[in-house]
Structure 1
Amino acid sequence: MTTFPISLSANWQHTSQVSGLTATERDWLFEPHSLTAKLKSRSQNFSVKVLSEQTFDLSVEQQKLLSCTAVSALNREVILLCDDKPMVYAQSWLPDNKRQDKSHNPLLNMGNRPLGDVIFQDSQLVRTDIEIACFNSEHSLQQLVSQLNLSKQNLLGRRSVFSLREYKFLVCEVFLPGAYLYS
């Protein structure tokens, strides 16, 4: 049984430090626009399966990435599916902003909607540089891969911090075995 949140501890590297990627891997990992839109364009039926949505404490690293003093955040973990095939495991960390009215933050009430459908509609969205990591076949993320009946292999992921006005949040996306990235 998978325990949430799934740890995405890894050797995250800035794009300037990353080498040895294929053109296809670079195309997917460094996609500057909505990954959701890109996945939708390559499938007949796109869907989101919510695995977990709970409040957890932020790690010191996450607080540093988000430049925030918040101690907790809503952690949302989902699988993005194309034609019923798991393609991406995504994890978002939405800090608890005590000054913000939660009922007016659409990111805190997503349901089965993909985050990308909401955030990329806002012209004030700002994204930090994308960081890349490799998750080997021994990484704890592989437990989820096994539960999805996918073959264990090294996986590639990306993360970045987004800002909507003054609200910052962290998004991590890991491409699962069989994703378009590996074709």
Structure 2
Amino acid sequence: MKRYYSRREPNWTSWCRYRHHQVLPGIEQWLRDRGSLTARLKSASRGDFRVNVLRQEWACPLDSERRLLGMRRGGIAILREVELLCGGVPWVFARTLIPVRSLQGPARRLALLGERPLGEVLFADPSMRRGITQMARLLPRHALFAAATVHLQQVEEIWGRRTLFHLAGKPLLVNEIFLPDIPTSQS
């Protein structure tokens, strides 16, 4: 698998900073949805859904991820990158960062998800709180673009969102990058 080395990041910002016409047609509904993406993908694919784990390892977050998580420079987190496949086709690239301090108590199970969707765990836990959500347009110069599109060809831009969740009061960051094959009609 091709690794990416760029540390360049897109301009993550709140939804109100984007104008409707800037967002690719049909992607807005995915970016703004506040429910479980896992549940929505399962519904849109009529249950033909699975998680393909690309990697899970200890790593240093990107600078903006580290700041959002309240981590010190040089701090490490579990980095989990997966493709969410519907009908065998990747619709979403997801990158989750779980700081060491968040892997205490019941949240320890997050390190052992395997091919289980993170969304199932988060949205089933009554202690889960959804924090800030930011959107971004990702371009080829961005690290997350390279990671998300490593198996795709001829992609000029993609859109994503990232959400800071708290599970039992502990932070984790979930980046969801919407790939070109995701349906853009109402689902």
Q: TM-score range by the shorter chain?
A: 0.7 to 0.9
Partners of 2:77 and 2:97 within 8 A in 1: yes
Partners of 1:151 and 1:177 within 8 A in 2: no
- Amino acid across the alignment from 2:114: G
2:122 aligned residue (88, 98, 119): 119
1:27 aligned residue (12, 26, 29): 29
Please state whether the residue corresponding to 1:79 is helix, strand or coil: strand
2:179 aligned residue (165, 176, 179): 176
- Amino acid across the alignment from 1:35: L
Partners of 2:6 and 2:141 within 8 A in 1: no
Q: Percent identity?
A: 30
- Amino acid across the alignment from 1:134: R
The CA deviation at 1:181 is 3.8
Compare 32-41 and 172-181 and name the one that shifted more: 172-181
Mapped pair 1:57 → 2:56: no
Partners of 1:56 and 1:74 within 8 A in 2: yes
Give the direction of change, closer, same or farther, for the CA distance of 1:4–1:163 in structure 2 (3 Å limit).
Answer: farther
Aligned residues between the structures = 182
Could you list the runs of 5+ residues in structure 2 that have no partner in the other structure?
none
Matches within 5 A, 1:143-158: 143-144=146-147, 147-158=150-161
Match of 1:160 in 2: 163
Please state whether the residue corresponding to 1:177 is helix, strand or coil: coil
- Amino acid across the alignment from 1:133: A
Q: TM-score, normalised by structure 1?
A: 0.86
Match of 2:10 in 1: 10
Matches within 5 A, 1:85-100: 85-97=89-101, 100=104
Give the direction of change, closer, same or farther, for the CA distance of 1:92–1:5 in structure 2 (3 Å limit).
Answer: farther
1:101-138 deviation digits (Å, cap 9, x = unpaired): 5x862111000011001100012211123111111244
Compare 154-163 and 9-18 and name the one that shifted more: 9-18
Give the direction of change, closer, same or farther, for the CA distance of 1:59–1:26 in structure 2 (3 Å limit).
Answer: closer
Partners of 1:132 and 1:157 within 8 A in 2: yes
Q: TM-score, normalised by structure 2?
A: 0.84
Mapped pair 1:38 → 2:50: no
Please state whether the residue corresponding to 2:124 is helix, strand or coil: coil
Please state whether the residue corresponding to 1:129 is helix, strand or coil: strand
State the distance in 1 between where 2:172 and 2:144 align: 21
1:45-85 deviation digits (Å, cap 9, x = unpaired): 10110000000123443232012448110000000000001
Partners of 1:136 and 1:155 within 8 A in 2: yes
- Amino acid across the alignment from 2:134: E
Partners of 1:5 and 1:77 within 8 A in 2: no
The CA deviation at 1:26 is 2.0
Query: How large is the RMSD of aligned CA atoms in angstroms?
Result: 2.7
- Amino acid across the alignment from 1:131: Q
The CA deviation at 1:100 is 2.3
